[in-house]
Amino acid sequence: MLRDSGYPEVDVDRARDFLQRDIEGLFVAVEITGVEGVIARGFCRTDIPTSYKTAVTTPLFDSEGNPLPEVKNNGTLRADNSVDGKFSNYVWTDSCSRDQYIGWATAFAAIWEAVRDDAAIQKETKDRLQLYAKQLGHSLMVERTGGPGSNGKAFDLEIFDADGRTTYHGYMNENNWDRMYLAWLPIKDGFYSLMSLGIVAALAYCSEDSELEGYLYDELIAQRHLDNIVVSNVLGVNLDKITNYSNTNMAFQGALLAGRYISDEKVRNKVRYATIQHLYNTGISHTKPKDYSYSLYDFVYAANYSGASVFNKMKQAPDFDAVNRGIKTLCEFHEPPYWDETIINCDDAEIASGDCTLNDGTKVKVLGNVGRNDDLITDKPIPQGVRPPSNYHWRSNPYKPNGGGNGGCLLPGVDFRFAYWFGRFVK
């Protein structure tokens, strides 16, 4: 954004240096697994003072070659498994989940947008980036058996792990519903379809691999009609008081990627429809994403509403009310980075009475511990200025008035930075 907007070269160079380090981190996530087409859930250095310095890792396999742990879980700490052992000062977590995976896919596509025509980025770096995107995409193309409810039938769009198994939350096939295959249902999963379209489109855009592009347009769209499924439903995202906002975040992230990186305008228009009708303006009871004051959601909706993509400029003006809502939220944000300190908006007496005045004077009704995981929630979203801290607000409960930590954790504000720069880049 700085480079293309004519900012001073010193600012552009500084941003490019940041990006180069980010690219190197992305390569660690791929290479540390030691298996082609596999990416880590996360990783951490052990040669600096952290709780991982003395952490105990689990081998990928036992002495007889059986994967460990015996029952696949949502993330096991592993030692470096890279081919040349160059990450011996790292540990990593496997079982990359859908929400982490769609973040990695976003990184590949966004980086490629930035570096593709940038002569200051080495060709070797670009080639590795495209190769890893291709390998990840081809891994999603593989049909595997053994998932819950599969009855021996093979399905693709599963996230593959270094131990040879599908990750715990690695199911994204349109026949899957929350880790269970229900292929006999007449309704297919529009939520997973939207994520899959976005992820595969992002990896195909970055890799420029003809086979992966053929899989996206000829198989997933022309044959299996994932775009039509998305038009029909995005079920399981908005569940009123018990909504899992990580799902909401994944759905909007899928809409961002599919709306930006699919080259077929007719398909993008279907994603646009789903973004407007099924995601942003639709809700059960009081939970409607347009009211969350979540900048990323506002900007994704505004961008898709305008018809903008990586292949073309806006077809029409964005919804400026949404843009302004997103900007207002960013203006109220804690200046990142910031400390994870406890924020109490509703005290015990207010919770007992059901009437609460938030720290900014906003009056809300307390609904009780009726949110997901028995969270205490209110009848209105908490304004960003008094919202409890989060390591990523766009996947947190916007109706939760109280929360935070003991002030000992520094939050980098990735949520703020992502929404801010995405908003500026798409103008």
How are beta strands 158-160 and 166-171 bridged, if at all? antiparallel
Residue 193 has pLDDT above 80, yes or no: yes
Residue 226 placed within a domain: yes
What's the rounded mean pLDDT across residues 382-407?
Answer: 96
Q: Is 221 helix (H, G, I), strand (E, B) or coil?
A: helix
Residue 426 placed within a domain: no
pLDDT in tens, 308-345: 999 999 999 999 999 999 999 999 999 999 999 999 99
Domain that holds residue 61: 20-96
| pLDDT at position 287 | 79
Residue 423 placed within a domain: no
pLDDT in tens, 15-68: 999 999 999 999 999 999 999 999 999 999 999 887 787 889 999 999 999 999
What's the rounded mean pLDDT across residues 111-131?
Answer: 97
Domain end, chosen from 299, 332, 365, is at 332
Tell me, yes or no, whether 284 and 389 share the same domain.
no
Domain end, chosen from 332, 358, 377, is at 332
| pLDDT at position 427 | 86
What's the rounded mean pLDDT across residues 376-395?
Answer: 96
Tell me, yes or no, whether 182 and 326 share the same domain.
yes
Domain end, chosen from 41, 66, 96, is at 96
How many structural domains does the chain have?
A: 3
Tell me, yes or no, whether 222 and 240 share the same domain.
yes
Tell me, yes or no, whether 125 and 104 share the same domain.
yes
Residue 258 has pLDDT above 90, yes or no: yes
Residue 286 has pLDDT above 70, yes or no: no
Q: Is the CB of residue 400 less than 8 Å from the CB of residue 377?
A: yes
Residues 339, 343: Cα–Cα separation, whole Å: 11
Tell me, yes or no, whether 135 and 233 share the same domain.
yes
Enumerate residues 6+ apart whose C-beta is below 8 A from 271.
194, 197, 227, 230, 255, 258, 259, 262, 304
Residues 232, 199: Cα–Cα separation, whole Å: 20
Residue 263 placed within a domain: yes
**Cα-to-chain-centroid distance, residue 219:** 24
Tell me, yes or no, whether 117 and 232 share the same domain.
yes
Residue 422 placed within a domain: no
pLDDT in tens, 61-101: 999 999 999 999 999 999 999 999 999 999 999 999 999 99
Tell me, yes or no, whether 301 and 404 share the same domain.
no
Residues 142, 158: Cα–Cα separation, whole Å: 8
Tell me, yes or no, whether 38 and 53 share the same domain.
yes
pTM of structure? 0.97
Q: Is 81 helix (H, G, I), strand (E, B) or coil?
A: coil
Q: How confident is the model at residue 285 (pLDDT cuts 50, 70, 90)?
A: low
pLDDT in tens, 178-189: 999 999 999 999
What is the longest distance spanned by two Cα atoms in the chain? 64
Q: Which amino acid is at 224?
A: R
| pLDDT at position 27 | 98
Residue 407 placed within a domain: yes
| pLDDT at position 282 | 83
Mean pLDDT of the chain: 96
Residue 399 placed within a domain: yes
